[in-house]
Amino acid sequence: MNSETRIPPIEVTGAFGALVKFGARRMIGRVPDSIGVLWHHKTVMKDSMGIGRKVEGWHELAPDLATYAAMASAATIGCSFCLDFNYFMAHNHGLDEAKVREVPRWRESTVFTPLECRVMEYAEAASQTPPAVTDELSDALLAEIGPAALVELAARVSFMNMTARMNVALGIHSEEFADACGLAPLAVRSTVPGTPE
């Protein structure tokens, strides 16, 4: 990955660096190369990670729906790092791997419920520029999951947009976390009009 990032990674050092590396090893088994890219601006990395930890503490939206939404958003933006990382984390959290691996091609897949499809449609629509969420889709989800979960869905998708767009802009790509734990490759999605291939 190092040669592909737009900013060369640097060595992660110091007391804070040791803490970051310890946390990464504990969570994913190794220190991702992308941390060396973000290490150029430790405050951005620290604040982004802090927001991410807070997002993981939200529980109004069911964990499977939260994962599908994040991955559908990442697929829309084209962030291979985010897709791979969320697939890996879904495995670690005991979610249905067969369903999670189908998220990039959710429109063609037959494994998702109508609610799951609406959540991914919302994530995809909210990730477009400009956002394309319709009143009808929002109303349907409001009736099915309630206001608190819908607010969380919008916020989770927004956070994923920040993360995914930053990764894509910096040239941060998949580090093959899912491959390392023996997961089947993610399904390949078809091109959706108005989204990157």
Q: How far apart are CA 167 and CA 157, in angstroms?
A: 15
Q: Is the pLDDT assigned to residue 90 strictly greater than 90?
A: no
pLDDT band at 179 (very low <50, low <70, confident <90, very high): confident
Question: Of 1-5, 27-31, 45-49, which range is least confident?
Answer: 1-5
Token pair 């089947």: residue = 184
| Structural domain count, the chain | 1
Q: How confident is the model at residue 123 (pLDDT cuts 50, 70, 90)?
A: very high
**Residue 23 placed within a domain:** yes
- Per-residue pLDDT band for 168 (boundaries 50, 70, 90) equals very high
Residue 15 forms part of a structural domain: yes
Alpha helices for the chain (secondary structure H): 14-28, 34-38, 42-56, 63-77, 80-92, 97-100, 114-126, 135-145, 147-170, 177-180
pLDDT (tens digit, 9 = 90+) per residue, 46-87? 999 999 999 999 999 999 999 999 999 999 999 999 999 988
pLDDT of residue 183: 72
Domain holding 18, by residue range, is: 2-180
For 29, left (φ over 0), alpha (ψ -120 to 50), or beta?
A: left
Res 191 pLDDT > 80: no
Residue 1 has pLDDT above 70, yes or no: no
Which CATH number characterizes residue 130's domain? 1.20.1290.10
9: Cβ contacts below 8 Å, ≥ 6 apart:
2, 33, 34, 35, 36, 37, 39
Q: Is residue 129 part of a domain?
A: yes
